[in-house]
């Protein structure tokens, strides 16, 4: 029977697996509904062309703002029915660019307004709320700075408001720079899963779906009736759309209306975006779920889907729990083959993972599905690597930690050869990278554990997640830049680049040293205990005294001659000198047995005593094994390793602060 600590780890592992499976199966449930159901709503006929205001919330977006305003002012719609409001909270030269654009289009007869409120209170939600005070049109369209609405957008989207109960319509996001890198490709596929599976299934089934913050249109009456834009969460779009649907408003997703946008190309920007979405969803769950659950007019299936959507980011902490627990459990006697056989375990992972996703991709993309499916392995690695970043976000949301709305910077990247590294808004890595590095090293150690424990079937599972942490952490470091403007290359900025390169090399070296040290430590300290445990298991199965004697000798040779791994409150059960003494007694006993006749009672008594001793010693070794990981030497080496990483981060942060000071005075 497992000791209480091991049982606790096993229970956490299984519970996490069950919950992850539940969320995964819900995704497949929505995928099936998407494939089987036809859209429940269609466009109608409007009696007259409604008036429309286009809100463009902007904050420091000098590389994409011109493109956005040009596209909006080219919309095919009567000028007397269209009002454009650029909601500018910028504090850089974006404001001057917008002022010039507004003046230009005003002269051309476009009703466009440059709104400056003099504060960033409430961030994007605050800007939208402020704009609603002077918005009196029937409908409100919203576009973030990185979107490029086509000229036909309003003509094709507005007819869906012929139904008076429609509160908002959401269009599908397109990706103008999908082929820029592997990072943009996996983002594009992840977003396509969201829109073409989750959003489509919910829209077709009239379940609660969310407005995605941009590329959509709201009925102004719906915004007002739902209470307007709130700044209490980081996802004002999700918050308002759920409050509107709780009030009885309906919504539609339009998969055939694709609005192109620019995907973030810098890993640190992507992590910031993912952090905001994950934390905001948890904030909305805390804010809205209780009300959703007690409203009688909301159906059970709708309540279930709302719960899943608002809480789905808890999958990321669960992934980390499994990742941490698996190497520990591989060193125990607990059977991790849930279906009985290794082959069945792998089959289950394939069926519920890659195979099922390939089927979803085939339904999503039609004839181009095979090419898209090639991106799937990278998507799995990317998603696994985001677990640390999004787990921090989940805990921030759960514990109510305050944080500002940090927008995702864009650089006007459209072609594969476009460069972003020398532009403004580049983001350095954050402290989250330190955690990701820890999980990289832990994962490498876990792979060694699986190999030495002869449980190779679990190596790919650990390896995929380890590769994910390495992928995200590596790009976070490689994409970090300290200087915000390539046109201001000073001696200080060049020195910062050199410091960064040396620091990056130091971090890589420390990771490699840590991995090698873990490998050697496991091979010399832990693996011999695993071997001896295996030899003792053979003794328990063995009926031949000669073979039993050989396994006893192998056990003696494998175990340390003396010492006790339990350095805090040691016990005699884990004292290797006493264990060796017991093995010596077993060896003497087996020699006596070998001299006895097989029909003699002494023969059977001796073999029974040897088996009993083997069972007891094996349990003692099982109890001692976890303490081999936390020996005084390992703790000291771990502290030195961690201190070296922290020192490098401190140097980089100090250099970053110095550069920001220089930039501020430039």
Q: For residues 334 and 118, what is the distance between their CA atoms, to the nearest angstrom?
A: 62
Measured in degrees and rounded to the nearest 5, phi and psi for residue 112 equal -125, 140
Q: Quick check: is 11 catalytic?
A: no
- Residue 171 and residue 199 in contact, taking contact as beta carbons nearer than 8 Å: no
What letter would DSSP give residue 38? P
Question: For tokens 């099982």, what's the residue?
Answer: 622
Query: Is 138 a known active-site residue?
Result: no
- Cα gap 259→212, rounded to integer Å: 12
Q: Could you give the CA distance from residue 63 to residue 3 in angstroms, rounded to a whole number?
A: 59
Question: Angle at Cα 480 formed by Cα 474 and Cα 484, nearest 5°?
Answer: 165
From the candidates 237, 239, 396, 530, which is the catalytic residue? 237
Q: 621 CB contacts (<8 Å, ≥6 apart)?
A: 529, 532, 533, 536, 559, 579
Q: Give the whole-angstrom CA distance, residue 292 versus residue 296.
A: 9
Instruction: For 424, list phi and psi in degrees, rounded to 5.
Output: -65, 165
Q: Whats the size of the chain, residue-wise?
A: 666
**Secondary structure of residue 174 in the 3-state scheme:** strand
Other beta carbons within 10 Å of 583:
20
For residues 416 and 429, give the distance between their C-alpha atoms in angstroms, rounded to a whole number. 24
Angle at 476 between CA 473 and CA 479, to 5 degrees: 145
What is the arrangement of strands in the sheet containing 250-261, beginning at the earlier edge strand?
Answer: 112-115, 82-88, 52-58, 139-142, 216-219, 166-175, 250-261, 147-148
Rounded to whole angstroms, how far apart are CA atoms 532 and 524? Answer: 13
> Strand pairing partners for 114?
86
To which H or E segment does residue 259 belong? strand 250-261
Q: Are 130 and 87 in contact (CB under 8 A)?
A: yes
Report the C-alpha gap between 263 and 286 in whole angstroms.
Answer: 29
Catalytic annotation, pick one of 89, 144, 146, 192: 89
Q: What is the DSSP letter of 158?
A: G
Contacts of 625-632 with C-beta under 8 Å, sequence gap 24+, read: 625/331, 625/526, 625/529, 625/530, 625/533, 626/5, 626/328, 626/331, 627/565, 627/566, 627/567, 627/574, 628/525, 628/526, 628/529, 628/565, 629/526, 631/525, 631/565, 631/567, 632/567
Structure tokens at 159: 């007819």
Beta carbons of 410 and 263 less than 8 angstroms apart: no
Strands (E), 89-189: 112-115, 139-142, 147-148, 166-175
- Which candidate, 505, 516, 388, places its Cα nearest to that of 444? 516
The answer to whether the Cα torsion of 472, 478, 483, 484 is positive or negative is negative
Active site residues: 89, 237
């Amino acid at each position: 029977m497992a000791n209480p600590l091991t049982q606790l780890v096993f229970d956490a592992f299984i519970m996490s697996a069950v919950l992850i499976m539940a969320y995964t199966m819900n995704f497949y449930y929505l995928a099936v509904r998407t494939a089987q159901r036809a859209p429940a709503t269609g466009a109608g006929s409007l009696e007259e062309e409604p008036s429309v205001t286009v809100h463009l919330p902007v904050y420091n977006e000098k590389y994409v703002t011109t493109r956005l305003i040009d596209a909006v002012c080219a919309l095919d719609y009567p000028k007397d029915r269209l009002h454009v409001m650029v909601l500018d909270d910028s504090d850089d030269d974006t404001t001057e660019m917008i002022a010039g654009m507004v003046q230009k289009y005003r002269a051309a007869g476009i009703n466009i307004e440059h709104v400056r409120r003099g504060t960033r209170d409430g961030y994007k939600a605050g800007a939208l709320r402020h704009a609603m005070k002077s918005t009196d049109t029937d409908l409100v369209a919203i576009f973030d700075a990185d979107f490029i609405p086509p000229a036909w957008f309003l003509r094709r989207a507005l007819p869906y408001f012929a139904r008076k109960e429609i509160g908002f319509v959401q269009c599908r996001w397109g990706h103008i720079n999908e082929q820029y890198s592997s990072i943009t490709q996996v983002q594009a596929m992840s977003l396509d899963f969201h829109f073409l599976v989750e959003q489509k299934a919910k829209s077709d089934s009239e379940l609660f779906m969310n407005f995605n913050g941009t590329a959509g249109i709201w009925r102004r009456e719906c915004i007002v009736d739902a209470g307007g834009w709130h700044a209490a969460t980081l996802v004002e779009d999700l918050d308002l759309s759920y409050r509107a649907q709780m009030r009885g408003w309906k919504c539609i997703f339009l998969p055939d209306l694709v609005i192109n946008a620019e995907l973030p190309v810098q890993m640190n920007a992507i992590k910031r975006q993912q952090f905001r979405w994950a934390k905001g969803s948890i904030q909305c769950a805390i804010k809205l779920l209780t009300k959703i659950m007690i409203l009688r007019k909301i159906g059970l299936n709708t309540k279930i889907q709302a719960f899943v959507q608002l809480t789905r980011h808890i999958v990321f902490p669960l992934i980390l729990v499994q990742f941490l627990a698996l190497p520990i459990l591989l060193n125990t006697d607990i059977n991790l083959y849930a279906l009985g056989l290794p082959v069945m375990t792998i089959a289950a992972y394939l069926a519920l993972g890659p195979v099922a996703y390939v089927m979803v991709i085939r339904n999503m993309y039609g004839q181009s599905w095979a090419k898209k499916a090639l991106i799937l392995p990278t998507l799995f690695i990317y998603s696994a690597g985001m677990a640390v970043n999004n787990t921090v976000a989940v805990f921030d949301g759960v514990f109510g930690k305050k944080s500002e709305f940090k927008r995702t910077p864009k650089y006007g990247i459209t072609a594969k050869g476009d460069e972003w590294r020398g532009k403004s808004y580049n983001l350095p890595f954050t402290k989250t990278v330190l955690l990701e590095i820890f999980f990289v090293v832990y994962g490498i150690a876990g792979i060694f554990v699986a190999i030495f424990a002869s449980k190779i079937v679990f190596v790919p599972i650990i390896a995929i997640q380890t590769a994910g942490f390495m992928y995200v952490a590596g790009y976070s470091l490689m994409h970090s830049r300290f200087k915000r403007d390539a046109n201001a290359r000073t001696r200080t900025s060049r020195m910062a680049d050199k410091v960064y390169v040396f620091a990056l090399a130091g971090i890589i070296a420390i990771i490699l040293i840590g991995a090698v040290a873990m490998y050697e430590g496991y091979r010399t300290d832990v693996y011999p205990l695993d071997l001896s445990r295996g030899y003792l298991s053979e003794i328990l199965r063995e009926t031949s005294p000669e073979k039993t004697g050989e396994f006893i000798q192998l056990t003696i040779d494998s175990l340390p001659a003396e010492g006790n791994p339990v350095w805090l409150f040691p016990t005699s059960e884990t004292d290797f000198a006493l264990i060796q003494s017991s093995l010596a007694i077993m060896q003497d006993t087996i020699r006596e047995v070998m001299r006895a006749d097989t029909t003699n009672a002494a023969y059977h008594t001796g073999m029974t005593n040897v088996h009993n001793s083997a069972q007891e010693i094996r349990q003692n070794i099982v109890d001692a094994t976890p303490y081999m990981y936390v020996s005084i030497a390992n703790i000291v080496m771990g502290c030195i390793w961690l201190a070296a990483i922290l020192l490098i981060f401190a140097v980089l942060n100090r250099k970053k602060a110095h550069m920001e000071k220089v930039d501020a005075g430039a």
